[in-house]
Amino acid sequence: MNSVTNSASDQPAVKNADAQAMISAQGLTKYYGEFIAATDVSFSVSRGQVAAFLGPNGAGKSTTMKMLTGFLSPTRGRASIGGYDVFEDRLEAAQMLGYLPENGPLYAEMTPKAMMKYCARIRGMSAGDTAARIDYVVDRCSLGTVWEKPVGKLSKGFRQRVGMAQAILHDPEVLILDEPTSGLDPNQTHQARELILSLAESKTILLSTHILAEVQAMCSRLILINNGRVILDGPIEELANGVTELEDRFRELTA
Ligand SMILES: Nc1ncnc2c1ncn2[C@@H]1O[C@H](COP(=O)(O)OP(=O)(O)OP(=O)(O)O)[C@@H](O)[C@H]1O
């Protein structure tokens, strides 16, 4: 494996919001019954990095992201955000984290407006912060036209935008985005990439995607997973020179 990160054993179990490893997977393993979806997945993403999490369908990306965000208990291993263990220090980790899940927001009967207010409340945001941040996400995620429609009745692209809005609402330092441009039309894809690039100026981001041009445009780091195991991890410029080489590398390693 071409790895430039520290292995799980090199990662101290620190409880420190200034920790360099803002996202840390330490030996994450997940069994669904007899089936192993993730095996000993270890990597860390440093403050300010934008890392692409790539792999073929069913490779274990969403499973790993769910464990990293505390939505799914690992069979073995640990995950931490900003040095906070996502299970033992759940509140601190959640405060630092915005997560866009694979299938968008869960509250189908709520409108985006109700959902943002609900999310702000459960995150303990003040009334002033809530109003300002809601204005920001409505604008950045273009939610004005669907603001009062139930999320479950929105198109896939709009649901995705609502998911992105709830992920960034509390201005978290760390973002874990599971296929953030999936289902978006070309204009919205462009807008979502611009948003991610502007967020990347101040945040640590792990994003999964199947669009290699997106990786090249937005990410400095590549983590490739196949059959539940990390098979490549390093700076993109060292791993591939342009999208075509990235595509060749992907095919050669995952075919
Ligand atoms: N709840 C579950 N029960 C049983 N198997 C599951 C469950 N969730 C995922 N799997 C299986 O685990 C494997 C990894 O799935 P996962 O969704 O993590 O892959 P992925 O890399 O995100 O795929 P994709 O690119 O298609 O979204 C797949 O074989 C999937 O069928």
* Tens-digit pLDDT string for the chain (255 aa): 444 333 334 443 444 444 489 999 999 999 999 999 999 999 999 999 999 999 999 999 999 999 999 999 999 999 999 999 999 999 999 999 999 998 766 688 999 999 999 999 999 999 999 999 999 999 999 999 999 999 999 988 899 899 999 999 999 999 999 999 988 889 888 888 999 999 999 999 999 999 998 899 899 999 999 999 999 999 998 888 889 999 999 999 998
What's the pLDDT at 188? 85
For ligand 1, the distance from its centroid to the CA atom of residue 62, given in whole angstroms, is 7
- Residue 77 contacts residue 85 (beta carbons within 8 Å): no
- CA-nearest residue for atom 25, ligand 1, is 57
> In the prediction, which pLDDT does 102 show?
87
Note whether 171 and 135 are within 8 A (CB).
no
CA-closest residue to ligand 1 atom 11 = 37
- Pocket lining: 57 vs ligand 1, CB cutoff 6 Å: yes
Question: Taking phi first (over 0 means left), then psi (-120 to 50 degrees means alpha), and beta for anything else, what does residue 182 get?
Answer: beta
CATH class, 8-254 region: alpha beta
For the beta carbon of residue 240, count every other beta carbon within 10 angstroms.
20
For ligand 1, atom 31: residue with the closest CA: 58
DSSP label of 220: S
55 lines ligand 1 (CB under 6 A): yes
pLDDT score, position 242: 87
Decide: 27 in ligand 1 pocket, CB within 6 A.
no
Q: How many residues comprise the chain? A: 255
pLDDT of residue 12: 39
> Which ligand 1 atom is the nearest neighbour of the CA of 60?
18
Q: Where are the domains of the chain?
A: 8-254
pLDDT at 10: 43
180 alpha carbon – ligand 1 mean position (Å): 17
The residues that bridge with 25 in the sheet, in sequence order, are 43, 79
How many angstroms separate the CA atoms of 24 and 8, rounded?
8
60 lines ligand 1 (CB under 6 A): yes
Ligand 1 mean position, distance from CA 39 (Å): 13
DSSP 79: E
Tokens of 186: 């070309």
- Residue 105 confidence (pLDDT): 63
User: How much is the pLDDT for 157?
Assistant: 87
Q: What angle do CA 210, 196, 15 make, to 5 degrees?
A: 100
CA of 167 to the centre of ligand 1 (A): 22
CB 106, CB 66: distance < 8 Å: no
Closest CA to 170 of 132, 202, 218: 132
How far does the centroid of ligand 1 lie from the alpha carbon of residue 81, in Å?
Answer: 23
9 lines ligand 1 (CB under 6 A): no
